[in-house]
Structure 1
């Protein structure tokens, strides 16, 4: 199963350590191993633990074979904790097994571990991860602070502690992230700190500043986070300075690993964009459009919208303003953005269209693409008795997200959803979150109550037919459904750089201008 919808954008997901892809597969594998382990093997593994109770690898082997949820194993660890009261490794071992399963059962064992050894870095780190799943972010940040303080040489926890202030205290986040980069010049976490400063900055000038610092401080040929960051840097430069984008692409060709070879194609992209911009400056719109039309951008390229805007600009220069206008409406209907909406309005004005007419044209395309959303029924409510069906929300716009408490990208997206949703308080907007991992049910209600997030949590029904609301066993996966129960927008993501796009989509559905 794929629980994180980020396969092609690995560098764009928040909190990489939390992106524990396959943890539930591990859980299933552990259970299978436990069923297959013979009594003789279990006895041998148990003896290995007793011979070296402070050896985590011995515990791991035993727990993998016996199963952490086995009542006999739980009883055995209770006995071992009594026998070895000063060995923090004993409670931490079973806690780690539960952490790997993303199980709420980890917390009491983690607390026992740090009570025995207050400098147990990984146990504090486990409490932080577990705390995120409970939704008490202040407490979990406190655990993270203890993990970082217990081992100042640990780049991982220094990075995550700095990152935890993003959205809380921007000045502190930036200062601490720069400090991580300075303190750990030979560690991927140092590169990662600059990467996130660049990605999460809202101004293009700030993004370029941090990406340039990343490039100069952490050689892309040596550090994966720097190599990944150069793709984002390239896309920004394509819009701001295509000549410099070309220079970067040519440099990266020389350092790119043999098996990938993505940068030669990006050299061609930069050459085409640079040439097209020169042609547009010369008022040769048709030639510029022909140049840009050849470009095929990767699916998740952040330059895709900019490319469509450039093609529209070239069409407009060539005197084909109607074509520019129509093309952007087609793009907007699939992937709305504030930048596209502004450009559509500008070209509409040139064509003599007012806002009402432009909105009607946009809705003409949205209506053509709209489909009745596949209904769901019988999803259990967590906060009140009974079940929920899509029909319960008829007459409301529905923002639907698939998630689960162990999903780091889901937790990273929730604050941005909340920033937008709160702007529509009292309006006909319903915000639903379907938990796709029932094994984590114990986390759900505490998470919602502690976090303060306003979505209504529902539990997935295994095996139900999802139709056009299919999340493909991935999270997060997001959909927007209009008041008539039609699916209008899907497979979009929201972060600190594009909250206005989600706000725009919701506004459109709350206040439709039908063609």
Structure 2
């Protein structure tokens, strides 16, 4: 991710844009052209103003620094051809590309001239992510779907967006797509997204299994990779083996190396767990230690590190090395707390005679080992134009995030921050957002107003030596305790781990010992 701009990485499924896990990159394009090429294209546009391709070729010759010049030029074109919806649509596309706040105005102008143009409703949705409420944005997608009812891509985008406001209806519409259009790629996409949007492991497994058994399994192999990892984490090793063997048989590309690796891992888990069931902990531990979840040859990995970690602790406990099991789980918990690891940590603690106070003393001894004071700052507040210093928040836990308005991963993370922070007294917890991209200063306050985000918006200073709270991309997050120590850093919060952030904050507020 670069500091100046971003690109939301997407999964393209027959043109459908399905947000998964996005990253911010520099999308700046500068395509210098000879003046006569610009002149030629402009003359062609004036002869055929409704030719969208001509507009796109012309606008591709410009970059963000040419925006003022182009606004004047397209204003003239609009006045000359007032009935053309293509002119504002094309220029709205350029402004959208350079993240200009006026892009939405041009798409709205195109719609006023041609309200049945479904693609414009899609562009209006994409442009409004900074300044419009979810319900209005979803309304744009519904308009697109209604204007082009046979377009399954538009339908899927509407259903996906609906998850944030009406999950039950969204799930029902996903199922309808899967049933009504079973041969379409959107049916496979629907099953995958259904699996992603549920926290219930049994329901998630059922959707993955339906996709695995469908004709779309090889197309949506990413979902089947996730299904395999889910089965491993559920200790359903034989079922995981069946999946890997079946997919290996169906696959005729380089992914066959991945499935062979998965098959090897599933068999290793079966053998190691069998040794544990037979009360052979040392042999089981050796077998677990031989399991590698990342294959350097095929450059793939399996998301089951926590599961394997806990199995090794179980083997040590069975072998009478409970103190070692406790130490390993407690060390892990100190860095990344969760309810699962808490339960297991306290189980081992009880076995070796430690009470909760002793456990928290151990946790904080590890957690605070080597911590340092956060590098001080004094930055401009966007709303008050006054300087705000880190020292102003002494006595509070501080959640600090580096972001910028057009950063997709940042915007995706904010709702989870807000969900967690609602559980705390905001007199005890401060939430600060430092915008890293001065080119988007004008977007900061509109975004905060329309998104409902509650962080204190500060402007980064490129001359500030950030020290131990630096950033290399957005989002970058830190948790600072009441005394100004950086305790947690470089973590991410999402639907599946909100509880981790909650525990981090709660335990900083209620330290048992240091």
Name the TM-score, length of structure 1 as normaliser. Answer: 0.90
1:82 aligns with 79
Q: 2:70 aligns with which of 70, 73, 98?
A: 73
Aligned to 2:173, the other structure's residue is in SS state helix
> Which whole-Å CA distance do the structure 2 matches of 1:388 and 1:423 have between them?
25
> Which whole-Å CA distance do the structure 2 matches of 1:243 and 1:460 have between them?
52
Report the CA distance shift for 1:20/1:308 in structure 2 as closer, same or farther (over 3 A).
closer
Residues 331-480 of structure 1 aligned to structure 2 (within 5 Å): 331-375=332-376, 377-462=377-462, 464-473=464-473, 475-480=474-479
Determine if contact 2:110/2:120 at 8 Å carries over to the other structure.
Answer: yes
> Which whole-Å CA distance do the structure 1 matches of 2:25 and 2:422 have between them?
33
Q: 2:260 aligns with which of 264, 276, 282?
A: 264
1:305 aligns with 306
Report the CA distance shift for 1:140/1:441 in structure 2 as closer, same or farther (over 3 A).
farther
Report the CA distance shift for 1:117/1:75 in structure 2 as closer, same or farther (over 3 A).
same
Aligned to 1:277, the other structure's residue is in SS state helix
> Which whole-Å CA distance do the structure 2 matches of 1:45 and 1:6 have between them?
30
> Which whole-Å CA distance do the structure 1 matches of 2:323 and 2:361 have between them?
15
1:317 aligns with 318
Q: Could you tell me how far 1:406 is from its partner in structure 2? A: 2.0
1:98 aligns with 95
Q: Could you tell me how far 1:312 is from its partner in structure 2? A: 1.1
Q: Could you tell me how far 1:452 is from its partner in structure 2? A: 1.7
> Which whole-Å CA distance do the structure 2 matches of 1:87 and 1:6 have between them?
31
> Which whole-Å CA distance do the structure 1 matches of 2:100 and 2:302 have between them?
35
Q: 2:244 aligns with which of 237, 244, 249?
A: 249
Report the CA distance shift for 1:65/1:296 in structure 2 as closer, same or farther (over 3 A).
same
Encode CA deviations 1:386-435: one digit per residue, 9 max, x unaligned: 23333332222111222222223322222121111010033411112222
1:25 aligns with 27
Residues 276-287 of structure 1 aligned to structure 2 (within 5 Å): 276-287=272-283
2:226 aligns with 232
Q: How many corresponding residue pairs?
A: 501
Residues 109-148 of structure 1 aligned to structure 2 (within 5 Å): 109-148=106-145
Aligned to 2:27, the other structure's residue is in SS state helix
Is residue 50 of structure 1 aligned with residue 46 of structure 2?
Answer: yes
Encode CA deviations 1:229-254: one digit per residue, 9 max, x unaligned: 11211111012211111111222233
Greater helix proportion: 1
Aligned to 1:73, the other structure's residue is in SS state helix
> Which whole-Å CA distance do the structure 1 matches of 2:443 and 2:276 have between them?
56
2:489 aligns with 490
Report the CA distance shift for 1:468/1:48 in structure 2 as closer, same or farther (over 3 A).
farther
Determine if contact 2:378/2:390 at 8 Å carries over to the other structure.
Answer: no
Q: Could you tell me how far 1:369 is from its partner in structure 2? A: 4.8
Report the CA distance shift for 1:442/1:61 in structure 2 as closer, same or farther (over 3 A).
same
> Which whole-Å CA distance do the structure 1 matches of 2:205 and 2:394 have between them?
45
Report the CA distance shift for 1:133/1:300 in structure 2 as closer, same or farther (over 3 A).
farther
Aligned to 2:503, the other structure's residue is in SS state helix
Aligned to 1:219, the other structure's residue is in SS state coil
Q: Could you tell me how far 1:146 is from its partner in structure 2? A: 1.1
Report the CA distance shift for 1:453/1:350 in structure 2 as closer, same or farther (over 3 A).
same
Report the CA distance shift for 1:296/1:462 in structure 2 as closer, same or farther (over 3 A).
farther
Determine if contact 2:56/2:90 at 8 Å carries over to the other structure.
Answer: yes
Q: Could you tell me how far 1:185 is from its partner in structure 2? A: 4.1
Determine if contact 1:18/1:129 at 8 Å carries over to the other structure.
Answer: no
Aligned to 1:346, the other structure's residue is in SS state helix
> Which whole-Å CA distance do the structure 1 matches of 2:77 and 2:8 have between them?
41
Q: For structure 2, list consecutive stretches of 5 or more residues without a partner in the other structure.
A: 295-299
> Which whole-Å CA distance do the structure 2 matches of 1:369 and 1:219 have between them?
50
Comparing 500-509 and 132-141, the one that deviates more: 132-141
Aligned to 1:319, the other structure's residue is in SS state coil
Q: 1:60 aligns with which of 43, 48, 56?
A: 56
Aligned to 2:423, the other structure's residue is in SS state helix
Encode CA deviations 1:198-222: one digit per residue, 9 max, x unaligned: 122111101101111222235232x
Report the CA distance shift for 1:306/1:174 in structure 2 as closer, same or farther (over 3 A).
same
> Which whole-Å CA distance do the structure 2 matches of 1:452 and 1:102 have between them?
21
Report the CA distance shift for 1:258/1:286 in structure 2 as closer, same or farther (over 3 A).
same
Q: For structure 1, list consecutive stretches of 5 or more residues without a partner in the other structure.
A: none
Name the TM-score, length of structure 2 as normaliser. Answer: 0.90
Aligned to 2:327, the other structure's residue is in SS state helix
Q: Please report the RMSD computed on the Cα atoms of aligned residues, expressed in angstroms.
A: 2.7
> Which whole-Å CA distance do the structure 1 matches of 2:7 and 2:330 have between them?
27
Determine if contact 1:220/1:255 at 8 Å carries over to the other structure.
Answer: no
Determine if contact 2:23/2:408 at 8 Å carries over to the other structure.
Answer: no
Comparing 249-258 and 438-447, the one that deviates more: 249-258
Aligned to 2:337, the other structure's residue is in SS state coil
Encode CA deviations 1:9-56: one digit per residue, 9 max, x unaligned: 989xx9745978677423xx2xx33xx333222111211222332222
